Amino acid sequence: MSLAERVAKLPFWSQEVEPKPLTGGITNTNFVVAQGDEKFVVRMGHDIPMHGVMRFNELAACHAGFACGISPEVVYTEPGFMIMRFVEGKTLKQEDVIQQSYLERILPVIKVCHNEMPKKLRGPILSFWVFHVIRDYAAKLTEDNSRMIPRLPELLQVSEGLESIVGPISMVFGHNDLLSANFIDDGDKIWMIDWDYSGFTSPLFDLSNLASNNELTTEQERWLLKAYFGKESDDHLWKRYHAMKTASLLREAMWSMVSEIHSVIDFDYVAYTEENMARYERALEAFRKL
């Protein structure tokens, strides 16, 4: 039975449906399904322990995000499947996120995620500490005889130094995967989707992750920190922020290294690894000049 046929047989549907693949994802397999006048997104995927993706955590984040008005409603779940309402709108691209007008609309949504969603979360919730993720990925890559093994000691040493510079943190509930495609503009408001990696973390991770994923300018990064914290960033905060930004890029590269070995999705992970390693190395060079 094909994946589309499995989706079509889910008991949620009250009539015959024709699932259509939703392309673009590099963690899950997704379909769009029309039923009457309504449209839904079906996400297929089980736990992915090697990436810290646990579906109970994703579901709890989805429910909390919906309760806060920033994420679509989940209408059905069973093991391996989640159905949510389709948001009609524009899936953002990097060229959208880097526009100041979009940044000014995105930042309040991030603040809701950080500060309001914890009040709506129920049940066990994961944490997301990027430096633990990096250490865990390094161990997995060693076990799996990755082509990147020669680089791992150096990467771990850099990560340890970055972690010490980040230092003590305030804790918020983060999305932790702020790619442009995880924002949808319905013309009225911005929605956040794809909560696979969500968990309690430092606000600096989401801010630097947004900046690094979308290649914000230095001026935009300065604005982002001032708008988030309500004051100009001093040298200490600026350095901590850049340490987290460098770690964010390293984590993305190492995520791809692991995916090279284990993912069954048709995607060029080797090229993605090389792209993100280059971006990490540029960020590290800039960080060392601070």
Give, to the nearest 10 degrees, the angle between helix 235-262 and helix 203-214: 70
pLDDT mean over 20-37: 84
In the chain, % helix, strand, coil (3-state, to 5) comes to 50, 15, 30
Band (pLDDT 50/70/90 cuts) for residue 191 is: very high
**pLDDT exceeds 80 at position 24:** no
Domain extent listing, the chain? 3-85, 90-288
User: Any idea which architecture 3-85 has in CATH?
Assistant: 2-Layer Sandwich (3.30)
**pLDDT exceeds 70 at position 8:** yes
**pLDDT exceeds 70 at position 194:** yes
- Taking the C-alpha atoms of residue 223 and residue 184, their distance in angstroms, rounded to an integer, is 22
Q: What is the pLDDT of residues 244-289, one digit of tens each?
A: 999 999 999 999 999 999 987 888 999 999 999 999 999 999 999 9
**pLDDT exceeds 70 at position 26:** no
Non-local CB neighbours of 219 within 8 Å, separated by 6+ positions: none
So what's the pLDDT on residue 27?
66
So what's the pLDDT on residue 29?
86
90-288: CATH topology: Aminoglycoside 3'-phosphotransferase; Chain: A, domain 2 (3.90.1200)
So what's the pLDDT on residue 22?
87
Task: State percent of the chain over pLDDT 70.
Answer: 99
Contact 243/162 with Cβ under 8 angstroms?
Answer: yes
Q: What is the pLDDT of residues 34-71, one digit of tens each?
A: 999 999 999 999 999 999 999 999 999 999 999 999 99
Non-local CB neighbours of 233 within 8 Å, separated by 6+ positions: 222, 225, 226, 241
Q: For 145, phi and psi rounded to 5 degrees? A: 55, 45
Q: What's the first-to-final CA gap in the chain, in angstroms?
A: 56
Q: Are strands 74-78 and 29-35 parallel, antiparallel or unpaired?
A: unpaired
What is the pLDDT of the chain when averaged over all its residues?
A: 95
So what's the pLDDT on residue 140?
97
pLDDT mean over 23-36: 82
Could you write out the DSSP letters of every residue in 143-158?
A: HTT-TTGGGHHHHHHH
In the sheet where 38-44 sits, what is the strand order?
A: 20-22, 29-35, 38-44, 81-85, 74-78
Q: Is the Cα dihedral 170, 237, 195, 149 positive or negative?
A: negative
**pLDDT exceeds 80 at position 14:** yes
pLDDT mean over 139-158: 97
Q: What is the pLDDT of residues 98-111, one digit of tens each?
A: 999 999 999 999 99
pLDDT mean over 201-211: 97
Q: For 90, phi and psi rounded to 5 degrees? A: -95, 120
CB atoms within 10 A of CB 242: 25
So what's the pLDDT on residue 1?
81
So what's the pLDDT on residue 265?
80
